Structure 1
């Protein structure tokens, strides 16, 4: 299973083990069980602290547990954790073996102090770049707290379960047999949902924060760049965000960030966070901003209000809240979201293997999604509202060469249909003839661009008719002391490299504002 190079790398990692661990496999006669046995037989000889048994009696076969010898840790893979999940496997081995996690002491204490019994099940796919964050967070919780158990389940291996639970998006998490969440979740978000007192404790902690000279809202490329540039000026800098990475977390391949030949979105996001944390930046993640109250006069503090009731203050504020996938806003979209309506072809495409799907959107993202899906599913129908596809010519040519793709232009999506449980089709109207059509499908992938995250700013500062924050060439908004950067603004060309440049510019502009505006006394 593992080539010589991968064995060498894994052996080096396993030298960090501090305590013996035991892998216990539950196998059957499926080919996947033979693959799992081969993987475990490759791993065991790489460290004297690892032992393997094949007498497990878990109902899910093939699967294997990872536990510290003499303990009963609740970490299990009902999967052959290769691809994106290989890192999850390595971390689980190290953490079960006593290697300390990269987690702050407060979060560790919070996990260890959870009351109750928690049995998590995560359905994932090995091609999903969003799944590892969830798998790794829940595995770590299971290592740290004996009352937490977690199994990562490859939907491709356990198709009957996926169908029975009508899972049509990954990652999908169940807690104690009930739906818990879907999509990327970081450990702070998970803890906020299971620890009922977390919000109040967090708010009390944030309320004690001293005002910042620069307070950045958002943790994507623009927010990260702004934080780094502000901190390098030696001024008190804070960042508040729901998570680090922004839209890059949902990007599979990044090949146009100058000096980085190729990387993956989640890796890029992790690098952003690491770079920010290398400086004296007060990082507050897992926080949702509800409102921004401008300073009453120049030199005074603006106020950023959070969903948990806490307030943070800054002499300047940089808004870098980015954008999110745009909804098509037709009947059925919300009803069948995660039940056939999807937004990430890389993550959810494998769940539709051998089925018929549609892609809504003829821009680069839509055409790329259709090309990607065509290699997995039975047939792809692409729906474009305009009279021609908007994607780059090379992509359009590639799409048209595929035998299992049908393209409809001048087509207006009017409804996503379903049977009450999952998607079964899509209705569209021919904008030339007026004729209506219904296409039978198992899934619909929406790829029609982005919408800025500015709902909480309406009435606070000037927005464009598209909801973007209006800025001048120095990233200043219509409100003195408040700046903005990245995809949330009117700056053209929504690209990662442009967002980082705008973030740096916003920080420099904020610093210039600070040195030219005397602070309010008292």
Structure 2
């Protein structure tokens, strides 16, 4: 039985792994892949110690530090979390493997929300993307659309504006992005802002060829020729595997106290999967450190 199992390989999970290793805990990190959401981000200007760094570069440095401590890692996805009669935990992976631990840190992060419109699922990977950083270069010289109103959508439009011929930015009601990003957006002459529209359908033969939008307040419908649609309408917490144990808020984030505790002894939640008010890399990393220290103290008291 492990002393600690860490679910997730983003900033929170990797930081927790380093702190657990420094405490000499018998810990295991379980993740589908390293990096988490920062892997989708090209420009990071607010992580202390770096004037500028890309998300993949920063996460590579995180991973390098995890590897230096030789923390055991399993590349699997957790699909079920149970609490045993003795207070320990059992985790079940998508490969059918079971893991036992005295304490658990849930640092599973979030995943992109879907539009849930006709054509979206059919053309995912064939023009529909959820990561401008990953797929943007594939659309050099083409016309694309970005759907969303927050920082991620505006940043995606800025990134794509540097490679695509034209970018339509479709905003449902009003922008929710930071002023610094809006300033960068407004200097681009190949970004067309379409505020007050929603996507109705994505259309094509083998790949995306056009998408249809309509006014949120009005009857106007537009059919625009595009080769790519980038969905940036927010994120959903990866909390389903724990929903029978923990309390979730209206956004299905895990409710925690100021020490990342879930109310269940030995179970902690760190990073974007919890109900903390702000979602930042530095906050997720801080959560991971805090959760590891709390788990260490918990296990120490159980000995």
Residues 224 and 503 of structure 1 are in contact (CA less than 8 Å); yes or no, is this contact kept in structure 2?
A: yes
What count of residue pairs does the alignment treat as equivalent? 303
Deviations 1:71-112 (A, max 9, x none): xxxxxxxxxxxxxxxxxxxxxxxxxxxxxxxxxxxxxxxxxx
Asked if structure 2 preserves the Cα contact closer than 8 Å seen for 1:289 and 1:305, the reply is yes
Contact 2:40 2:132 in 1 (8 A): no
- Check conservation: 1:294, 1:479, Cα contact below 8 A: no
1:232 is aligned to 2:19: no
Q: 1:398 to 1:259 in 2, by over 3 A?
A: closer
Corresponding residue for residue 430 of structure 1: 215
| TM-score, L = length of structure 1 | 0.56
Residues 275 and 398 (structure 1), Cα distance of their counterparts in 2 relative to 1, 3 Å cut: closer
Between the aligned partners of 1:238 and 1:372, the Cα distance in structure 2 is: 36
In 1: Cα distance, 2:26 partner to 2:289 partner: 16
Structure-1 residue corresponding to 2:95? 308
**Pairing of 1:263-302 with structure 2 (within 5 A):** 263-279=53-69, 281-284=71-74, 286-298=75-87, 301-302=88-89
Q: Does residue 1:396 correspond to 2:185, yes or no?
A: no
CA distance in 2, matches of 1:243, 1:263: 20
CA distance in 1: counterparts of 2:186 and 2:25, whole angstroms: 54
Structure 1 unaligned segments of length 5 or more: list them.
1-210
Aligned with 2:271: secondary structure? coil
2: distance between equivalents of 1:394 and 1:504? 30
Aligned to 1:226, the other structure's residue is in SS state helix
**More contact order relative to length (CA 8 Å, sep ≥ 6):** 2
Contact 1:318–1:507 (CA under 8 A) maintained in structure 2: yes
CA distance in 2, matches of 1:275, 1:508: 18
Give the aligned CA root-mean-square deviation in angstroms: 1.8
Match of 2:50 in 1: 260
The verdict on how the C-alpha distance between 1:479 and 1:362 changes in structure 2, with shifts beyond 3 A counting, is same
Query: 1:213·1:237 contact (CA, 8 Å) conserved in 2?
Result: yes
Q: 1:374 to 1:234 in 2, by over 3 A?
A: closer
Distance 1:383 1:326 in 2: 16
User: Quick one: which of 111, 129, 133 aligns to 1:346?
Assistant: 133
Cα 1:228–1:440 change in 2 (3 A) is same
Query: 1:329 aligns to what?
Result: 116
1:128 corresponds to which residue? none
**1: CA distance, partners of 2:126 / 2:73:** 35
User: Structure 2: which 5+ runs fail to align?
Assistant: none
Instruction: Give the structure-2-normalised TM-score.
Output: 0.93
